[in-house]
Amino acid sequence: MQILITGGAGLLGTRLAKAILARGSLTDGNGALRAVTKVTLFDIVAAAGVDDARVATVVGDVADAAAIAAVLTPQTDAVFHLAAVVSGQAEADFDLGMRINLDATRLLLERARANGNRPKFIFTSSVAAFGGKLPARVPDDYAPMPQSSYGVQKVAGELLVNEYGRRGFIDARVLRMPTVCVRPGAPNRAASSFASGIIREPLNGIEAICPVAPETVMWLASPTVAIANMIHGHEVDGAGFGSSRILSLPGLSVTVGEMAAALARVAGDATAARIAWQRDAAIERIVNSWPGDFITDRADALGFERDAGFDDIVRAYIAQELGGRLPA
Ligand SMILES: NC(=O)c1ccc[n+]([C@@H]2O[C@H](COP(=O)([O-])OP(=O)(O)OC[C@H]3O[C@@H](n4cnc5c(N)ncnc54)[C@H](O)[C@@H]3O)[C@@H](O)[C@H]2O)c1
């Protein structure tokens, strides 16, 4: 199996690559389990930290047709298309968001179509697909009405990927991912960046600003569950998706106040007191347009996972990223 991961230097791309390499085999389009022989990590910056003879690290722009033709070939069995500019950045730079989040998706799909080998194509969408007037729990068949440029670009990508699948050019799988939390490393330009920051920064002994009200409801998944579900999205029988290849993945529905309370339970009140509550209207406008809860019957029936609870997510972050060490 030859796998292409666009955005392969990002958080999910790097972790996905490691998980695929550790697993060693994946199911091809004919349902046969085959050894993974090559994982290409394509990104505008060089992927680091995935040392394996099966890995090819390629630096390039996902919106560059020649660069894509070099990495997406008739030998590519599966594409995980993760390259994107995140929500805050796509809102700040309309042209960049359209080019990377939409035009490049079409470019990849056209390349896959021209190759003619019907690769599996996994596209990661987002809760930002939804907005406007929403039910308390959003069902799978609810019409997306995004309220951000990023959300519009994701919905357009969802439909394109589904359509290229319907036409038989690819084996399409669109996964609407919950917000991944706790995200290690530095804050990013996603409007949801605070959701990880209010846990991560206090655990590192520094203050974090929470720009939304404690009542704000988030739809979350740990990095571990997000990666497991991306691989499951590749492995699961495509016929099980039914008439649409677009699927909302399971998550945890948690208020930001409950997240802070979980941090206090797991790491102590002094740690949780490092969260400074300072509302930011621009971030609230985007985050409050997203649903905080979904009905995921289809994904549940297909065997996708969800985290047990937010306390466990905090504990897993401490174990995996901090070596089990709590702040002094
Ligand atoms: N992390 C989340 O909470 C979350 C939730 C829902 C959906 N998603 C989606 O999952 C995917 C991966 O998310 P992530 O958290 O790993 O994000 P990330 O920002 O860590 O990774 C995205 C990668 O895309 C790369 N990229 C940006 N512009 C590029 C270009 N022109 N050419 C090539 N590469 C380019 C970046 O360098 C980065 O490494 C994205 O599509 C994102 O929209 C993420």
Task: Kindly state the DSSP code that residue 127 receives in the 8-state scheme.
Answer: G
* Annotation says 150 is catalytic: yes
- C-beta 153 within 6 A of ligand 1: no
Nearest to 36 by CA among 71, 70, 68, 78: 78
pLDDT of 251 reads 98
The Cα 281–Cα 287 span in angstroms is 10
Whether the Cβ atoms of residue 139 and residue 295 lie closer than 8 Å to each other: yes
Query: Is the peptide bond between 182 and the residue preceding it cis, with omega within 30 degrees of 0?
Result: yes
Residue of 6, 11, 41, 174 best suited for mutating to test ligand 1, as the one with most atoms within 8 Å of CB:
11
156 lines ligand 1 (CB under 6 A): no
DSSP per-residue string spanning 224-259? HHHHHHHHHHHHS-GGGGTT--EEEPP-EEEEHHHH
CB of 222 closer than 8 Å to CB of 283: no
- Ligand 1 centroid to 203 CA: how many Å? 24
Burial of 313 per CB tally in 10 Å (0-12, 13-18, 19+): buried
What pLDDT is attached to residue 147? 92
- Cα dihedral 303, 309, 315, 320, rounded to 10, equals 20
As a whole number of angstroms, the distance between CA 96 and CA 86 comes to 11
Atom of ligand 1 nearest to the CA of 188: 19
Between CA 117 and CA 119 the distance in angstroms is 6
For residue 256, being part of any structural domain is answered with no
Residue count of the chain = 328
- Ligand 1 contacts CB of residue 221 (under 6 A): no
- The single-letter code of the amino acid at 241 is F
Distance from the CA of 65 to the center of ligand 1, in angstroms? 19
CB of 211 sitting under 6 A from ligand 1: no
> Separation of 110 CA from ligand 1 center, angstroms?
21
**pLDDT digits over 109-150, tens only?**
999 999 999 999 999 999 999 998 999 999 988 999 999 999
Atom of ligand 1 nearest to the CA of 62: 32
Q: What is the mean pLDDT of the chain?
A: 96
| CA distances in angstroms from 266 to 16, 295, 312, listed in the order given | 28, 29, 9
User: Residue 154 in contact with residue 129, Cβ under 8 Å?
Assistant: yes
Is 131 part of a structural domain of the chain? Answer: yes
Residue 113 lies in a domain: yes
Of residues 188, 225, 192, the one with CA closest to residue 309: 225
Q: How far is the CA of 190 from the centre of ligand 1 (A)?
A: 10
**For residue 12, is pLDDT > 90?**
yes
Which CATH number goes with the domain that contains 43?
A: 3.40.50.720
- Are the C-beta atoms of residues 236 and 307 closer than 8 Å to each other? no
Q: What pLDDT does residue 286 have?
A: 87
44 Cβ closer than 6 Å to some ligand 1 atom: yes
How many other β-carbons are positioned within 10 Å of the β-carbon of residue 87? 30
Q: Is 292 in the pocket of ligand 1 (CB under 6 A)?
A: no
pLDDT, residue 191, reads 86
Query: Is the CB of 83 inside a 6 Å radius of any atom of ligand 1?
Result: yes
Tens digit of each residue's pLDDT (9 = 90 or more) over 151-176: 999 999 999 999 999 999 999 999 99
The answer as to whether 282 is a domain residue is no
Asked if residue 114 is part of any domain, the answer here is: yes
Residue-by-residue DSSP string for 266-289: HH-HHHHTTEEE---HHHHHHHTT
Cβ atoms of residues 178 and 221 within 8 Å? yes
- Reply yes or no on whether the pLDDT at 83 is more than 90: yes
Number of other residues whose CB lies within 10 A of the CB of residue 59: 14
Inside any domain, residue 291: no
pLDDT in tens, 13-70: 999 999 999 999 999 999 999 999 999 999 999 999 999 999 999 999 999 999 999 9
315, part of any domain: no
Q: Which helix (H) or strand (E) holds 77?
A: none
Main-chain phi, psi angles of 30, to 5 degrees: -95, 5
Task: Decide: 7 in ligand 1 pocket, CB within 6 A.
Answer: yes
Q: How far is the CA of 270 from the centre of ligand 1 (A)?
A: 33
Which of 134, 93, 180 is CA-nearest to residue 288?
134
Percentage of the chain with pLDDT > 90?
Answer: 92
pLDDT at 327: 74
Spatial CA neighbour of 161 closest among 122, 126, 129: 122
Domain that holds residue 156: 2-177+222-248
The predicted model scores a pTM of: 0.97
Please count the structural domains in the chain: 1
Specify the ligand 1 atom closest to the Cα of 99.
Answer: 31
pLDDT of residue 208: 96
> Distance from the CA of 54 to the center of ligand 1, in angstroms?
22
DSSP 221: E
Work out which ligand 1 atom sits closest to the CA atom of 221: 3
User: Is 261 domain-assigned?
Assistant: no
